[in-house]
C-alpha cells in the first residue's frame, strides 16, 4: 500500500517504528505491505517512489530535526506539491491541530480526497471545523475517511460506540476527553494550586505547546464535535459547542466538591446541548478517573449506560489507532 505521510512528529515517528517492528507480521497476517513514498515536516521532505526506509527516517529526524536530510533529492517539496505530483493510495495526516482555520491539514485532506486517495487523520482541526463537508467530499470522491485516533488515542472509543453498540440508539454521552486537564484537576485534589498543578503537567510534557488547547477546553470540544457527528448523526462544528475551560478552577472549588463527596472534572457532554465545562461528579461515578486517563459513558435506549476507560493521547497509542485504520482500509480494498 502506497502511503504519503503528512508531518513527522512523535505520532508519525511512532508509526514508522511500528511499521518497522511489525512488517513481517503485517504482511503474513493481513497482506499489508506499507510503502512510504513521501514524508514531509515543517522544514522539508523525503521522497522515494520505491519506498523510504522507516528506521533511517526516524534516525535522521532525531539527528537533524527534519526528514529533509534523508537525501538531497526532492527535499524541498511542500506537502501540497507532493500530494499533487505523487500518486499514492493513502494519505496519513498527522500535522498539528489548528482550530482557527484547520490549515495546513484541511488542504492536505481535501487535495488527497479529490485525487482519489483514502485519508487517515489524527489531526482534529479539519474535523472540528468541517466534519459534515469532509464526509460529503469523501463520499463524492468514493474514498474512505478514517479518524479513530482523534478521540482517545489508542482507546477505541469511536469504534466501540459505532460497532459494539450498533443496533442500539445512543441517546446521550458524557466523558473526560482530555487527559491533561484531568491530570491537573486530579493533582489539585492533593492540595496543589492550579498554577502548581499546571507546572507539574508541563514538566511531565503533558501540556500542548499552545496551552489554550488543553486549558480552555478546545481539545475536548473538538473531540466532542467528532463524537456528536459520527455517533449521533449530528451536523455540528466547533462554534456549536458551549465551552468553558479550567483556568478559573480554584482550591476552594475542589474542596467544595470534596464536601459533597464529589470530584471536579472537565466534562464534555452531548444531551440536550453540547457543552464542555468543569462539573462536579460523584466519587462513585465511573467517570471519576484520575491522572491522564480518559473515560466516556454512553447512555443508550435499551442497554443503559456503558463506560469505556483508557489512555488518552500518546505517540505509540495514537500510532496503533492509525495502523488499525490502515488495516480497515486494506480489508475494504480487498473486499471490493
Residues annotated catalytic, as ranges: 223
Spatial strand order of the sheet with 170-176 comes to 242-243, 274-282, 262-270, 170-176, 293-300, 304-311
Helix axes 315-335, 10-30, angle to 10 degrees: 40
Nearest to 180 by CA among 265, 279, 99: 265
The cell 496551552 sits on which residue? 211
Which phi and psi angles does 142 have, rounded to 5°?
55, 45
Eight-state DSSP code of residue 326 = H
CB atoms within 10 A of CB 173: 24
Cα separation, 279 vs 258, whole angstroms:
12
Cα separation, 330 vs 301, whole angstroms:
34
Q: Residue 238, SS3?
A: helix
Question: What nine digits make up the cell of 202?
Answer: 508541563
Amino acid at each position: 500500500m502506497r502511503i504519503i505521510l503528512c508531518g513527522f512528529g512523535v505520532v508519525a515517528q511512532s508509526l514508522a517504528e511500528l511499521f518497522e517492528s511489525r512488517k513481517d507480521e503485517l504482511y503474513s497476517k493481513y497482506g499489508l505491505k506499507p510503502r512510504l513514498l513521501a514524508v514531509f515536516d515543517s522544514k522539508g521532505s523525503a521522497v522515494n517512489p520505491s519506498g523510504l526506509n522507516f528506521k533511517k527516517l526516524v534516525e535522521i529526524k532525531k539527528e537533524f530535526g527534519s526528514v529533509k536530510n534523508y537525501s538531497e533529492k526532492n527535499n524541498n517539496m511542500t506537502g501540497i506539491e507532493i500530494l499533487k505530483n505523487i500518486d499514492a493510495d493513502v494519505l496519513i495526516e498527522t500535522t498539528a491541530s489548528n482550530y482557527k482555520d484547520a490549515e495546513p491539514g484541511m488542504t492536505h485532506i481535501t487535495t488527497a480526497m479529490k485525487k482519489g486517495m483514502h485519508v487517515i487523520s489524527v489531526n482534529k482541526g479539519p474535523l472540528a471545523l468541517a466534519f459534515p463537508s469532509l464526509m460529503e467530499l469523501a463520499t463524492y470522491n468514493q474514498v474512505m475517511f478514517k479518524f479513530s485516533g482523534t478521540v482517545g488515542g489508542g482507546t477505541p472509543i469511536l469504534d466501540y460506540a459505532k460497532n459494539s453498540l450498533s443496533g442500539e440508539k445512543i441517546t446521550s454521552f458524557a466523558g473526560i476527553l482530555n487527559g491533561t486537564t484531568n491530570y491537573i484537576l486530579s493533582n489539585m485534589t492533593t492540595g496543589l494550586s492550579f498554577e502548581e498543578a499546571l507546572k507539574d503537567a508541563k514538566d511531565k510534557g503533558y501540556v500542548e505547546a499552545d496551552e489554550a488547547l488543553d486549558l480552555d477546553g478546545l481539545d475536548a470540544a473538538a473531540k466532542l464535535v467528532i463524537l456528536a457527528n459520527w455517533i449521533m448523526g449530528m451536523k455540528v462544528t466547533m462554534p456549536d459547542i458551549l465551552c468553558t475551560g479550567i483556568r478559573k478552577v480554584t482550591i476552594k472549588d475542589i474542596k467544595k466538591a470534596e464536601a459533597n463527596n464529589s470530584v471536579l472534572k472537565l466534562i464534555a457532554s452531548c444531551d440536550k446541548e453540547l457543552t464542555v465545562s468543569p462539573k462536579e461528579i460523584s466519587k462513585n461515578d465511573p467517570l471519576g478517573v484520575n491522572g491522564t486517563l480518559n473515560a466516556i459513558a454512553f447512555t443508550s435506549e435499551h442497554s443503559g449506560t456503558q463506560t469505556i476507560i483508557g489512555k488518552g493521547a500518546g505517540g505509540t497509542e495514537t500510532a496503533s489507532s492509525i495502523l488499525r485504520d490502515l488495516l480497515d482500509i486494506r480489508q475494504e480494498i480487498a473486499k471490493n
